[in-house]
């Protein structure tokens, strides 16, 4: 299981953060619950309606509150499915220690790569100026 985004690079060496590892379990759970729980289907329909309102509000120079309502509704659905947070192992044991160290090492690697990427962008901007 991955706890953090996966580093990658896109077209032209642009740094990317992949979230597939986090999304797959969520989508599988969502699909399963869609058949069993009518409220999930209703929530998805509400999210789709709010998304349409957001698009219409964009044409009105972002007047309105649909985007905030859309975000709130999506967060509530994610949390209701139990995917809003990942609880780490809190027991005193080898697994919890290894889990915490793997996360720390990956976070450190992401920070190093992102810092190097920012430095490369800054150097390019400095040369262009």
Distance in angstroms (rounded) separating the CA atoms of residues 79 and 87 = 13
- The pLDDT score that the predictor gives to residue 127 is 85
- The pLDDT score that the predictor gives to residue 1 is 59
- The pLDDT score that the predictor gives to residue 125 is 85
3-class secondary structure, 9: strand
Distance in angstroms (rounded) separating the CA atoms of residues 62 and 52 = 13
- What predicted TM-score, i.e. pTM, was given to this entire model? 0.65
Distance in angstroms (rounded) separating the CA atoms of residues 3 and 101 = 12
- Longest CA–CA separation in the chain, Å: 59
Q: Taking the domains of the chain in order of start, what are their residue ranges?
A: 16-86, 88-124
- The pLDDT score that the predictor gives to residue 92 is 80
Provide the residue-wise pLDDT of the chain in tens; the chain has 129 residues: 567 888 888 888 888 888 888 888 888 989 998 888 888 999 999 999 999 998 888 777 666 788 899 999 999 999 988 888 877 788 888 888 998 899 999 999 999 999 999 999 999 888 887
Residue 39 has phi, psi (to 5 degrees) of -65, -30
């Amino acid at each position: 299981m991955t706890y953090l985004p996966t580093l990658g690079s896109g077209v032209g060496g642009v740094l990317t953060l992949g979230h597939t590892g986090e999304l797959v379990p969520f989508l599988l759970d969502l699909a399963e619950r869609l058949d069993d729980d009518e409220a999930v289907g209703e929530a998805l329909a509400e999210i789709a309606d709010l998304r349409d309102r957001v698009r219409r509000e964009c044409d009105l120079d972002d007047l309105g509150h649909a985007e905030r309502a859309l975000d709130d509704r999506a967060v509530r659905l994610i949390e209701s499915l139990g995917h809003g947070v990942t609880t780490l192992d809190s027991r005193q044991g080898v697994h919890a220690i290894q889990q915490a160290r793997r996360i720390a090492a990956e976070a450190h690697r992401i920070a190093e790569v992102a810092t190097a990427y920012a430095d490369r962008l800054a150097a390019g901007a400095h040369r262009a100026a």
